[in-house]
Each structure stands twice: as structure tokens, then as C-alpha cells.
Structure 1
Amino acid sequence: MFTQAEAVFGRAGVGRAEFASWLHFAATVLGHHDYAARVAEAEPGLPWRTVWAWWRPVGAYVAEPNLSGDHTAEVYDLDGGAALKVWALWCEDTWFDLDTGRRLPAPADGEAVRRDGDDPDGARLFDPDEDGRLLHCPGTWEEPVPLGGGRYLYVEDRGVVVVEENAAALAGWPRGGADTGSWESAEDAPWFRPGTRGSGPLTAAGLARTFGEARVTRVPGEELPDALEHRATREFLSEVGLPRHWAAGVSSFEAAPELLRPLTSTAPEAGDEDLLHLGTFDFGYTDPGLVGVHRVTGEVRMYQESVIPLARDVAAFTGLLESVRRYMGACWSPYPAEDGIGAFHEAVRALDPGAQADGSPSAETWEHLFAAITELSVYGY
């Protein structure tokens, strides 16, 4: 908790009360709400508290939230309440209850009325002007959306947060303007217990968190073709699954509409009758790549101009695609104390070292796919 707070806000020598605000934020982001409540109880003089947050913690490599690039957060009034709609290039419209942060279904047409924002009189909570309070916040916490009642909404690449100022504690707070440079002093990314933040073997729940349950295809064991003899592949496709759609940069992958048909029925020129069709890559600038799994060995191969090995098995292939999607935000918008690209390379090497080894026939393909998040921006250039 302490290292998460310092990784976001830096290592400035702040007092007990302000550090309590940092700690309250970190606990809320990590989902430790009881701990956050105890922090607030132990330090009633904290200058601000976190009401709720949809936020990617430092060192946590998750697919959402990822608000890298263009993004918006709009407040709407509903019958009996208010809601927040968040959109970004890699985030479809997502609705939240404005007071609690609870996920909401999209309202029906005409049920939500967009609220016009009004700037409050006087200094904001994290106001960089000289008459603002001398508080510390990340350099990305700019242009807040005032919500009234001392609450503010901050939106940036890593997520959204609603904070509330403590008017009594701030009444005599020193002035001089908010310090937005402290977070640059953060040194080390926090440590997480293995298996708690996306590490470990890919599971059905993990795949669903990354792509959404509706965008994962699984085949019940009794419906798998008898031609697929590789037991581990049968178990993976029936229990974990395969993303229906994947995209990064100019490239995309679509699962085959008729999964596990012989690849030669789609491309007779592929010639290998032991390959069963998993899906197809669209690389943007070159010929499509038809992906198949060997029905006996479980190896994943791709046919373009010829058949080449692509991944050790379906689990490795799916894991590599899932990792690109999950590490996007950390690669495009890392915290100062975070090496998202380095962490991504380490993760994918562990999944299938042979697929990316120098001289491997598949190395060029994976380098092209990985470049979407390691070399190109969120905008694809």
C-alpha cells in the first residue's frame, strides 16, 4: 500500500495528513476499502479523500482501464441520480454511478441529460496557481471536472478518480500552488504477490477480464472434432477459450467462423492436412496469415506464402495475444516508476521463448505484432 502510494505521488517529504490522503487513494485503487476507511478514521485531518476510482495501479498490467490517447468523461443527470460516461480509443462507452463508481448499463435514449460544467469560485483542490494549496499530485491531474460539494473528477490515461476535499483540514493549509512534479521522484514499482496481478497461467476468468466474456469463444468438449487428438488443446479450447477478435496497431486477428475445420478447406495451397483452422491475421500491409493448430502435436502454425511455426501450442498463442492487449496501457502510458515495455518483453519471453528466438521463423511475425505497443504510439505511428 505504501509503495503504491509513493509510486503514484512520489517521495516528497509530506506530512502525516497528506500522506494519509495518498494512502487512502492507493487503498481504494487496489480495492482495499476497509483499509482505506481505517486510514480516514486514523487521520481525520487528511486534506482530501478518494470517493471512488477506476484506475490502473502502478505495476498492475490489466486491459482496463486504458484511456491512452483521446478520451472523454462526461457527467449526465438521470432520473434520481447522476452518471459518468467514459470513452477512449481503447475503451468503449462505460457508465458509472457518479456517487459510488458502481458500473451501470447504458441508459436508454432520452434518459440521460448531459450536465454543463461550471467552474467553482476560488482555487481548485489541486490548483497550480500561487493562491492554490500546497498539495502534491501527479502531473497528469489537470483540468478537473467540478462536481459540487467539494468533489472533483480527474481523468487521465490510467483511469478516472473522484476525490473530495476536506474543507476543515484545508482551511489553514499553506498556499503556494499544487506541486505536480513530485511523482517524478518515484523510484520503484510496487511489488505484488505472484498470481494476483495477471501473472500465472491464463485462465478462463483472466481471458474474459481482458477481452470481455462475450468476446471469447469456447467449444464444449463433446463438440470438438475427433480429428483434434491433442489433449491439452482440447482442454484449453473448451475450458479457457480463444478471443473472437484481437487488434493492435494495423494488425488484427479474427477467430475462424467455423473453428477447427481443416485449414486446407479454406486454403488448399497450404498443403498441410493436419492443420485445423483457428483464425486469420490481417497484417494491414501484407497478405493475411491463416492460423491453424496441428491436430496431433498441438503446435500452432501460420500459412502465408508457406507454412511456418508460430507458437508452441494454443495456450502460448492465446497468451501472447492476451499479453499485448493487457500491457497496452502500461506500454503507452507508463508511470514514472514503471517500465511497461520491459515488463511486457519479460512476460512474453516467459510464455514462449522459442517463438521469439533469433532466427526463429516466427520471430519476425511476433516482432511486427508487438511493435504496435512497444514502438508505435496509441495512434499507430
Structure 2
Amino acid sequence: MGTQAVGELTTLTGRFAHLQGRFGGPVVEEASALLRSVLTDEIWGEDGWGDVEWEGEMPSFWRTAALIRPLALVAAPGRGLRLDLPADFIEEEFGAEGVVRLSPGDLPDALEHEPTRRFLVEVGLPRDGLLFGAEAREDILNSMTAVCAERMENPALRHLGIAGTLPEDSDHLLLIGGLMHDFDTVVDGRTGLVHYTLIDDDTVTPVNADVSTLAFTVWMHSRQRKLEEEYELTGDMGEFYHQVADTMVAVLATADPVACLPATGPDDYRYWPEVFHDEAGGVL
């Protein structure tokens, strides 16, 4: 029964049909409250708790679903980008000093993708979002070619033997920030696709469909951390860690299928699913 309720939330059918076409923070809260009420008021059958109303503490699995699943409703589908995020989206979560916005004059000609240009001017990116941080204004949107050339002037990097190899289209790959684990984050100036890479690697790997879903991912992680402090979703001993990670990945997949593409081989590292499931790293 709980599975049916979560399915109805995911598809916005049944008891959640009235939420179709509605988005934003208040809708997230409404959906969460409704799912919690459905789960706590449910009559459990033979495979649950018997023919009595559940009056005790909500089981961890359903509490996680009720608090995390509705986060997908924070943003409507976008025009040119996957998500339509309001101008104050980053500020509300990270504060006025926690957002990096650019002026139109800061945008290089190599950033041809107009929706990405608008997003970086109007919404911006988190300056320090725990797992992602935007580059300083003076460095952001430099090409991989320029960044690698500058870094190769660093004697420490030369001493390490880093060759500074680059993808063939490195002039079109523009630095926007960095991920935990020393990955650079670059946006393809032609398409808006966001990749991660290493400075001495000649390959890039998709990490998000675009800057809107990158911002959403960082926001969702921040929200989960705050919910964790209040509700201890992962459990006292981390016994529920992986079910929280599974739920995070499921929500992200609805907003950004690119971020959760199946790995194509043992060396194909899909950043967000891997990081969310990194219990030893404790990012959740």
C-alpha cells in the first residue's frame, strides 16, 4: 500500500493528481505532508502490520520516501534547460553570498548556448554547495585549453609529471567549478551539457544534463543534509544509508536522466549515483 502511494506521488495520479502542473517549495511541503498522512493513516494488510491503523513511529523506509521523494516537485520543466528554477533558488538555500552570478559582459563568445547564458546571469550557481563549488568570478568560463595551459606553468604540477592532455574540443569546454574528489566541472559551450574531468585526462564524462540540473542536484543534497539533522534518515549506525541513497538517485533520475545513465563499463564512473552511495565518505 505504501508502494502504491509512492507510485501515485511519482506519477502524480490518484491521491496526488491535484498536484499536476504545480511546482515550488510550498508544493514540496504539501506533497510531503500528504504522503506522510497517507502512510500513517493506512490500514496495513497481512503483509504489513495487520488490520490495525499504524499509530507508531513511521518506518524509516517510508519516512525517507515522504521527505525526499517530493523534492522532485520544486521546479517545473524548463525552456531550453531541463528545469525552470526561480532567480532566488540558490540564494534561498545558500544565502545571498552563496551564489555566483555573472553579468552578460562576463560571458565569453565560446558560451554559445543561450539558455545556459541566461541561467548563469539570472539564477547562478552555488559558491560552495558541499559537493560542488562554482569557480571564482575571474576564472569561471575559461576554456579547458586556457586552464590547462595556466596550470602547466605550476612547477608542482610539472614535478608530478602531469602532461596536460586535453580533449579535441577543449576550446568549447568551459570551466564552471569543481566537484569533491578534485574533479573539474565544465560546460559544453555549444550544447549546455555539463561534464566532469581531471586536468590530466583527455576525456570528459557527462555529470548533469545542464546547469539547471546541476544546481538542482546540489540543492537536493543540501536539503537532504538538513533533513538528516532533523530526522536521522540514515539511522544511528547508518543502517538505512543505502535506502536514502537509492531514494536520492531515484529523485535525481526523474529530474535529470543524464546524471543517472547506466555505467557502460567498469571504468565508467557515474558521479552522483556513486557519490551518494559512498557510505564511507558519508556525504548523506
**TM class by shorter-chain length?**
0.5 to 0.7
Query: In the superposition, relative to structure 1, how do residues 377 and 313 fare at CA in structure 2: closer, same or farther (>3 Å)?
Result: closer
Q: Which of 120, 127, 131 is the equivalent residue of 1:244?
A: 127
Corresponding residue SS for 2:93: helix
Question: Residues of 1 paired with 2:102 and 2:87: CA distance?
Answer: 12
Give 1 or 2: higher strand fraction.
1
2:176 aligned residue (278, 283, 300): 278
Q: Are the counterparts in 2 of residues 58 and 335 from structure 1 also a CA contact under 8 Å?
A: no
Deviations 1:114-162 (A, max 9, x none): xxxxxxxxxxxxxxxxxxxxxxxxxxxxxxxxxxxxxxxxxxxxxxxxx
**1:206 Cα deviation after fit:** 2.0
Equivalent of 2:32 in 52, 59, 80: 59
Structure 2 residues not aligned, in runs of 5+: 1-24, 34-54, 77-83, 150-164, 234-242
8 Å Cα contact 1:311/1:355 also seen in 2: yes
Q: Which residue of 2 aligns with 1:355?
A: 259
* CA deviation map 1:320-341 (0-9, x unaligned): 12211122233565378xx865
The one-letter code of the counterpart of 2:176 is L
Aligned AA for 2:174? L
Q: Is 1:364 matched up with 2:270? A: yes
Write out the 4+ residue segments of structure 1 that deviate beyond 6 Å after TM superposition: 186-191, 194-197
1:198 correspondence with 2:171: no
Q: Distance in 1 between matches of 2:260 and 2:223?
A: 19
Q: Is the 8 A contact 1:332 1:377 kept in 2?
A: no
User: Which of 207, 210, 215 is the equivalent residue of 2:98?
Assistant: 215
Partner of 2:9: none
Q: Which residue identity lines up with residue 184 of structure 1 in the other structure?
A: E
Q: Which residue of 2 aligns with 1:314?
A: 211
Matched to 2:107, the amino acid is L
Deviation of the 1:289 alpha carbon = 1.3
State the superposition RMSD in angstroms.
Answer: 3.9
State the partner residue of 1:230.
113
CA distance in 2, matches of 1:331, 1:267: 39
2:57 corresponds to 1:184: yes
The total of aligned residue pairs comes to: 195
Deviation at 1:317, TM superposition (A): 1.6
Q: 1:262 aligns with which of 143, 146, 151?
A: 143
Structure 1 residues 298 and 185, CA gap change in structure 2 (3 angstroms): closer
Question: Does the 8 A contact of 1:298 with 1:312 survive in 2?
Answer: yes
Whole-Å separation in 2 of the counterparts to 1:196 and 1:367:
16
Letter paired with 1:276: L
Q: Equivalent residue of 1:258, what SS? A: coil
**C-alpha spacing 1:212/1:183, structure 2 compared with 1 (3 Å):** farther
Distance in 2 between the 1:202 and 1:300 partners?
17
Deviation at 1:202, TM superposition (A): 2.6
Q: Measured at CA, do residues 198 and 341 of structure 1 come closer, stay the same or move farther in structure 2, by a change above 3 Å?
A: farther
Maintained 8 Å contact 1:245/1:255: no
For 1:291, the equivalent position in structure 2 comes to 185
* Unaligned stretches of 5+ residues in structure 1: 1-29, 32-55, 61-181
- Residue 302 of structure 1: which of 186, 189, 196 is its match? 196
CA gap 1:211/1:376 in 2 versus in 1, 3 angstroms? farther
Query: Which runs of structure 2 are paired with 1:1-381 in the superposition (5 Å)?
Result: 59=32, 184=57, 198-200=74-76, 201-248=84-131, 253-256=133-136, 257-268=138-149, 269-271=165-167, 272-283=170-181, 288-304=182-198, 305=201, 306-331=203-228, 333-334=230-231, 343-359=247-263, 364-371=270-277, 375=279
Q: Secondary structure at the match of 1:293?
A: strand
CA pair 351-362 structure 1, distance change in 2 beyond 3 A: farther
1:319 aligned partner, one-letter code: F
Separation of aligned partners in 2, 1:243 and 1:298: 17
- Structure 2 contact 142–174 (Cα < 8 Å) conserved: yes
Classify 1:197/1:325 alpha carbon distance in 2 versus 1 (closer, same or farther; 3 Å): same
User: In the alignment, residue 148 of structure 2 is paired with which amino acid?
Assistant: A
Q: Which has the higher helix share?
A: 2
Closer/same/farther in 2, CA of residues 209 and 371 from structure 1, 3 Å limit = farther
Matched residues, percent identical? 24
Per-residue deviation, 1:230: 0.3
Secondary structure of 1:229's partner? coil
CA distance in 2, matches of 1:262, 1:325: 29
Contact 1:246/1:321 (CA < 8 Å) preserved in 2?
A: yes
Per-residue deviation at 1:199? 4.7
How far the C-alpha of 1:234 sits from its partner, in A, is 0.4
Task: Kindly provide the CA deviation profile for residues 53-101 of structure 1, in whole angstroms up to 9, marking residues without a partner as x.
Answer: xxx99938xxxxxxxxxxxxxxxxxxxxxxxxxxxxxxxxxxxxxxxxx
